[in-house]
A and B are shown apart, each in its own frame.
Chain A
Amino acid sequence: MGNILTDVFYILSVFAIFCALMVVFSRNPMHSVLYLILCFFAISGHYFLLNAQFLLIVNVIVYAGAIMVLFLFVIMLLNLNAETEPHKKMLVKFAAVISAGLLLIVIVASLKGATMAPSTNQIADTKGMGLVKNLGKVLFSKYILPFEISSILFLAAMVGAVMLGKKHEDQGQI
Protein backbone atom coordinates (compact mmCIF):
# COMPACT_ATOMS: atom_id res chain seq x y z
CA MET A 1 0.00 0.00 0.00
CA GLY A 2 2.67 2.48 -0.92
CA ASN A 3 0.17 4.40 -2.99
CA ILE A 4 -0.12 8.11 -2.34
CA LEU A 5 -3.88 8.16 -3.02
CA THR A 6 -4.62 5.60 -0.35
CA ASP A 7 -2.33 7.46 2.05
CA VAL A 8 -4.24 10.70 1.43
CA PHE A 9 -7.52 8.83 1.84
CA TYR A 10 -6.40 7.40 5.19
CA ILE A 11 -5.16 10.74 6.49
CA LEU A 12 -8.32 12.60 5.50
CA SER A 13 -10.57 9.85 6.91
CA VAL A 14 -8.79 9.68 10.26
CA PHE A 15 -8.82 13.47 10.49
CA ALA A 16 -12.54 13.66 9.65
CA ILE A 17 -13.47 10.97 12.17
CA PHE A 18 -11.31 12.54 14.88
CA CYS A 19 -12.91 15.95 14.30
CA ALA A 20 -16.41 14.41 14.28
CA LEU A 21 -15.73 12.72 17.61
CA MET A 22 -14.42 15.98 19.05
CA VAL A 23 -17.62 17.76 17.89
CA VAL A 24 -19.66 15.33 19.96
CA PHE A 25 -17.40 15.05 23.00
CA SER A 26 -15.97 18.53 23.56
CA ARG A 27 -17.72 20.32 26.39
CA ASN A 28 -17.55 23.83 24.98
CA PRO A 29 -19.95 24.51 22.04
CA MET A 30 -17.42 26.93 20.56
CA HIS A 31 -14.85 24.14 20.29
CA SER A 32 -17.53 21.94 18.72
CA VAL A 33 -18.13 24.51 15.98
CA LEU A 34 -14.42 24.87 15.26
CA TYR A 35 -13.93 21.10 15.06
CA LEU A 36 -16.97 20.84 12.78
CA ILE A 37 -15.37 23.36 10.41
CA LEU A 38 -12.20 21.23 10.35
CA CYS A 39 -14.35 18.15 9.64
CA PHE A 40 -15.99 19.95 6.71
CA PHE A 41 -12.57 20.78 5.31
CA ALA A 42 -11.59 17.11 5.55
CA ILE A 43 -14.76 16.17 3.67
CA SER A 44 -13.88 18.80 1.07
CA GLY A 45 -10.56 17.03 0.68
CA HIS A 46 -12.48 13.84 -0.05
CA TYR A 47 -14.46 15.73 -2.71
CA PHE A 48 -11.15 16.70 -4.27
CA LEU A 49 -10.07 13.06 -4.31
CA LEU A 50 -13.33 12.14 -6.02
CA ASN A 51 -12.87 14.76 -8.77
CA ALA A 52 -15.90 16.76 -7.58
CA GLN A 53 -14.42 20.23 -7.82
CA PHE A 54 -17.74 22.09 -7.87
CA LEU A 55 -18.88 20.40 -4.66
CA LEU A 56 -15.52 21.15 -3.04
CA ILE A 57 -15.96 24.87 -3.60
CA VAL A 58 -19.66 24.84 -2.65
CA ASN A 59 -18.89 22.87 0.50
CA VAL A 60 -16.24 25.34 1.59
CA ILE A 61 -18.33 28.41 0.77
CA VAL A 62 -21.78 27.26 1.94
CA TYR A 63 -20.99 24.90 4.82
CA ALA A 64 -17.67 26.01 6.25
CA GLY A 65 -18.42 29.62 5.34
CA ALA A 66 -22.06 30.56 5.68
CA ILE A 67 -23.65 27.92 7.91
CA MET A 68 -20.82 27.77 10.41
CA VAL A 69 -20.69 31.55 10.64
CA LEU A 70 -24.41 31.40 11.50
CA PHE A 71 -23.64 28.90 14.27
CA LEU A 72 -20.82 31.05 15.62
CA PHE A 73 -23.06 34.12 15.60
CA VAL A 74 -25.79 32.35 17.54
CA ILE A 75 -23.34 30.95 20.09
CA MET A 76 -21.76 34.35 20.64
CA LEU A 77 -25.16 36.10 20.68
CA LEU A 78 -26.55 33.78 23.33
CA ASN A 79 -23.24 33.78 25.24
CA LEU A 80 -23.07 30.01 25.31
CA ASN A 81 -19.32 29.69 25.13
CA ALA A 82 -19.07 28.73 28.77
CA GLU A 83 -19.18 25.10 29.79
CA THR A 84 -22.60 25.30 31.35
CA GLU A 85 -24.27 22.25 29.88
CA PRO A 86 -25.59 19.85 32.52
CA HIS A 87 -24.66 16.23 32.14
CA LYS A 88 -27.11 13.55 31.22
CA LYS A 89 -27.46 10.66 33.57
CA MET A 90 -24.86 7.92 33.28
CA LEU A 91 -27.49 5.37 32.33
CA VAL A 92 -28.77 7.54 29.45
CA LYS A 93 -25.22 8.10 28.18
CA PHE A 94 -24.52 4.39 28.33
CA ALA A 95 -27.74 3.61 26.45
CA ALA A 96 -26.88 6.23 23.80
CA VAL A 97 -23.43 4.76 23.16
CA ILE A 98 -24.79 1.20 23.06
CA SER A 99 -27.56 2.04 20.60
CA ALA A 100 -25.23 4.04 18.34
CA GLY A 101 -22.85 1.08 18.31
CA LEU A 102 -25.71 -1.25 17.46
CA LEU A 103 -26.74 1.05 14.59
CA LEU A 104 -23.17 0.96 13.27
CA ILE A 105 -23.08 -2.83 13.47
CA VAL A 106 -26.43 -3.19 11.70
CA ILE A 107 -25.48 -0.85 8.83
CA VAL A 108 -22.05 -2.42 8.35
CA ALA A 109 -23.54 -5.92 8.42
CA SER A 110 -26.13 -4.99 5.81
CA LEU A 111 -23.48 -3.40 3.59
CA LYS A 112 -21.12 -6.34 3.90
CA GLY A 113 -22.33 -8.42 0.98
CA ALA A 114 -23.69 -5.59 -1.15
CA THR A 115 -22.69 -5.20 -4.76
CA MET A 116 -23.33 -2.14 -6.84
CA ALA A 117 -25.76 -2.33 -9.74
CA PRO A 118 -24.41 -0.84 -12.97
CA SER A 119 -25.62 2.65 -13.69
CA THR A 120 -28.04 3.37 -16.50
CA ASN A 121 -27.08 7.00 -16.84
CA GLN A 122 -23.34 6.96 -17.41
CA ILE A 123 -21.83 9.88 -19.25
CA ALA A 124 -18.88 9.75 -21.58
CA ASP A 125 -16.64 12.31 -19.87
CA THR A 126 -16.23 10.79 -16.41
CA LYS A 127 -13.04 12.70 -15.66
CA GLY A 128 -14.49 16.19 -15.92
CA MET A 129 -17.89 15.29 -14.50
CA GLY A 130 -17.54 17.34 -11.31
CA LEU A 131 -16.78 20.57 -13.11
CA VAL A 132 -19.29 23.42 -13.11
CA LYS A 133 -19.70 23.14 -16.87
CA ASN A 134 -21.04 19.59 -16.82
CA LEU A 135 -23.01 19.82 -13.59
CA GLY A 136 -24.60 23.07 -14.74
CA LYS A 137 -25.81 21.42 -17.93
CA VAL A 138 -27.48 18.64 -15.95
CA LEU A 139 -28.86 21.00 -13.31
CA PHE A 140 -30.45 23.39 -15.78
CA SER A 141 -31.87 20.77 -18.12
CA LYS A 142 -32.94 17.67 -16.22
CA TYR A 143 -33.34 19.19 -12.77
CA ILE A 144 -34.68 22.62 -13.65
CA LEU A 145 -38.00 22.11 -11.81
CA PRO A 146 -36.44 21.06 -8.45
CA PHE A 147 -34.02 23.96 -8.83
CA GLU A 148 -36.87 26.44 -9.15
CA ILE A 149 -38.79 24.84 -6.29
CA SER A 150 -35.73 25.10 -4.06
CA SER A 151 -35.74 28.85 -4.64
CA ILE A 152 -39.31 28.93 -3.27
CA LEU A 153 -38.07 26.87 -0.31
CA PHE A 154 -35.37 29.45 0.34
CA LEU A 155 -37.91 32.27 0.15
CA ALA A 156 -40.16 30.48 2.65
CA ALA A 157 -37.21 29.80 4.95
CA MET A 158 -36.17 33.44 4.79
CA VAL A 159 -39.66 34.67 5.65
CA GLY A 160 -39.92 32.12 8.44
CA ALA A 161 -36.55 33.04 9.92
CA VAL A 162 -37.40 36.75 9.89
CA MET A 163 -40.80 36.10 11.46
CA LEU A 164 -39.34 33.88 14.17
CA GLY A 165 -36.41 36.12 14.88
CA LYS A 166 -38.50 39.26 15.25
CA LYS A 167 -38.92 40.42 18.81
CA HIS A 168 -42.50 40.41 20.06
CA GLU A 169 -43.84 42.96 22.50
CA ASP A 170 -44.65 40.59 25.34
CA GLN A 171 -41.19 39.07 25.43
CA GLY A 172 -38.23 40.34 27.37
CA GLN A 173 -34.96 41.60 26.02
CA ILE A 174 -32.47 39.01 24.99
Chain B
Amino acid sequence: MKDVVTQIPLDWYLYLCTLLFTIGVLGVMLRRNVIVIFMSIELMLNSVNLLFTAFSAYNGDPDGQIFVFFVMVVAAAEIAVGLSILVMIYRNIRSTDINMLNKLKW
Protein backbone atom coordinates (compact mmCIF):
# COMPACT_ATOMS: atom_id res chain seq x y z
CA MET B 1 0.00 0.00 0.00
CA LYS B 2 1.34 3.37 -0.97
CA ASP B 3 1.80 6.11 1.56
CA VAL B 4 -1.03 8.57 2.09
CA VAL B 5 1.43 11.40 2.73
CA THR B 6 2.73 11.25 -0.83
CA GLN B 7 -0.64 10.60 -2.46
CA ILE B 8 -3.00 13.11 -0.86
CA PRO B 9 -2.13 16.80 -0.41
CA LEU B 10 -2.40 18.19 3.10
CA ASP B 11 -4.81 20.86 1.84
CA TRP B 12 -7.55 18.28 1.45
CA TYR B 13 -7.36 17.46 5.13
CA LEU B 14 -7.37 21.17 5.95
CA TYR B 15 -10.57 21.72 3.98
CA LEU B 16 -12.25 18.56 5.30
CA CYS B 17 -11.54 19.55 8.90
CA THR B 18 -12.68 23.13 8.27
CA LEU B 19 -15.96 21.83 6.89
CA LEU B 20 -16.51 19.48 9.84
CA PHE B 21 -15.68 22.27 12.30
CA THR B 22 -18.13 24.63 10.58
CA ILE B 23 -20.87 22.01 10.73
CA GLY B 24 -20.23 21.79 14.47
CA VAL B 25 -20.47 25.57 14.84
CA LEU B 26 -23.68 25.52 12.82
CA GLY B 27 -25.13 22.88 15.14
CA VAL B 28 -24.32 24.97 18.22
CA MET B 29 -26.05 28.00 16.73
CA LEU B 30 -29.00 26.21 15.13
CA ARG B 31 -30.27 23.78 17.74
CA ARG B 32 -31.99 24.39 21.08
CA ASN B 33 -31.57 20.97 22.66
CA VAL B 34 -28.57 20.96 25.01
CA ILE B 35 -27.65 17.37 24.15
CA VAL B 36 -27.42 18.13 20.43
CA ILE B 37 -25.28 21.17 21.26
CA PHE B 38 -22.94 18.92 23.24
CA MET B 39 -22.73 16.57 20.28
CA SER B 40 -21.85 19.46 17.98
CA ILE B 41 -19.03 20.42 20.36
CA GLU B 42 -17.78 16.82 20.17
CA LEU B 43 -17.84 17.11 16.39
CA MET B 44 -15.70 20.25 16.52
CA LEU B 45 -13.20 18.58 18.87
CA ASN B 46 -12.97 15.59 16.53
CA SER B 47 -12.32 17.71 13.49
CA VAL B 48 -9.45 19.39 15.33
CA ASN B 49 -8.16 15.96 16.37
CA LEU B 50 -8.14 14.82 12.76
CA LEU B 51 -6.22 17.92 11.72
CA PHE B 52 -3.66 17.40 14.50
CA THR B 53 -3.14 13.84 13.29
CA ALA B 54 -2.83 14.93 9.67
CA PHE B 55 -0.18 17.52 10.51
CA SER B 56 1.62 15.01 12.70
CA ALA B 57 1.71 12.43 9.92
CA TYR B 58 2.78 14.89 7.23
CA ASN B 59 5.51 16.36 9.44
CA GLY B 60 6.82 13.09 10.82
CA ASP B 61 6.39 14.52 14.30
CA PRO B 62 4.74 12.42 17.05
CA ASP B 63 3.83 15.40 19.26
CA GLY B 64 0.60 16.04 17.35
CA GLN B 65 -0.73 12.58 18.13
CA ILE B 66 0.11 13.03 21.81
CA PHE B 67 -1.93 16.25 21.74
CA VAL B 68 -4.88 14.36 20.27
CA PHE B 69 -4.64 12.06 23.26
CA PHE B 70 -4.83 15.03 25.65
CA VAL B 71 -7.75 16.56 23.72
CA MET B 72 -9.59 13.27 24.17
CA VAL B 73 -8.85 13.37 27.92
CA VAL B 74 -10.26 16.89 28.24
CA ALA B 75 -13.29 16.01 26.08
CA ALA B 76 -14.11 12.99 28.24
CA ALA B 77 -13.90 15.06 31.45
CA GLU B 78 -15.98 17.84 29.90
CA ILE B 79 -18.71 15.47 28.77
CA ALA B 80 -18.90 13.73 32.16
CA VAL B 81 -19.36 17.01 34.03
CA GLY B 82 -21.57 18.57 31.34
CA LEU B 83 -23.99 15.69 31.17
CA SER B 84 -24.33 15.57 34.96
CA ILE B 85 -25.08 19.32 34.92
CA LEU B 86 -27.65 18.59 32.22
CA VAL B 87 -29.32 15.89 34.34
CA MET B 88 -29.47 18.29 37.29
CA ILE B 89 -31.00 21.03 35.12
CA TYR B 90 -33.57 18.56 33.83
CA ARG B 91 -34.54 17.67 37.40
CA ASN B 92 -35.17 21.33 38.13
CA ILE B 93 -36.87 22.70 35.04
CA ARG B 94 -38.10 19.48 33.32
CA SER B 95 -36.66 20.50 29.99
CA THR B 96 -33.42 20.51 28.02
CA ASP B 97 -34.34 23.56 25.99
CA ILE B 98 -31.51 26.07 26.14
CA ASN B 99 -33.89 29.02 25.83
CA MET B 100 -35.39 28.17 29.23
CA LEU B 101 -32.00 28.82 30.84
CA ASN B 102 -32.07 32.59 30.60
CA LYS B 103 -31.75 33.51 34.29
CA LEU B 104 -28.21 34.77 33.81
CA LYS B 105 -29.20 36.87 30.83
CA TRP B 106 -29.29 40.58 31.42
Question: CB-CB < 8 A to A6: which residues of B?
Answer: 7-8
Q: Determine whether the beta carbon of A122 is less than 8 Å from that of B72.
A: no
> Interface of B with A (CB < 8 Å)?
1-5, 7-8, 10-16, 18-27, 29-33, 35-36, 38-40, 42-43, 46, 49-50, 53-63, 65-66, 68-70, 72-81, 83-88, 90-92, 96-97, 99
A108 at the interface (CB under 8 A from B): yes
Tell which of A40, A85, A161 touches B81, judged by Cβ atoms closer than 8 Å.
Answer: A161
A67 at the interface (CB under 8 A from B): yes
Interchain nearest-CB distance for A127 vs B (Å): 8
Interchain nearest-CB distance for B106 vs A (Å): 19
Alpha-carbon separation in the docked complex, A126 to B5 (Å): 10
Alpha-carbon separation in the docked complex, A136 to B31 (Å): 40
Q: Determine whether the beta carbon of B90 is less than 8 Å from that of A78.
A: yes
Interchain nearest-CB distance for B69 vs A (Å): 7
Nearest opposing residue in chain A for B73, CB measure: A150
Alpha-carbon separation in the docked complex, A43 to B70 (Å): 17
**Contact flags (1/0) for A152-170 with B, using CB distance below 8 Å?**
0110111011101101000
A11 at the interface (CB under 8 A from B): no
Tell which of A129, A143, A158, A164 touches B60, judged by Cβ atoms closer than 8 Å.
Answer: A129
Tell which of A88, A129, A157 touches B77, judged by Cβ atoms closer than 8 Å.
Answer: A157
For the A-B complex with A85-B36, A96-B29, A122-B59 known, give 6 more contacts whose Cβ atoms are closer than 8 Å: A52-B57, A55-B68, A67-B42, A70-B80, A126-B57, A164-B88
Per DSSP, are chain A's interface residues mostly helix, strand or loop, or mixed? helix
Q: Determine whether the beta carbon of A172 is less than 8 Å from that of B91.
A: yes
With A5-B2, A54-B65 given, is the CB distance from A126 to B20 under 8 Å? no
Interchain nearest-CB distance for B39 vs A (Å): 5
Question: CB-CB < 8 A to A138: which residues of B?
Answer: 62-63, 66
5 chain-A/chain-B pairs, Cβ below 8 angstroms: A6-B8, A85-B33, A146-B70, A157-B78, A161-B80
Q: Determine whether the beta carbon of B84 is less than 8 Å from that of A123.
A: no
**Contact flags (1/0) for A43-70 with B, using CB distance below 8 Å?**
1001101111011001100110011001
Q: Determine whether the beta carbon of B83 is less than 8 Å from that of A70.
A: yes
Question: CB-CB < 8 A to A86: which residues of B?
Answer: 32, 97, 99
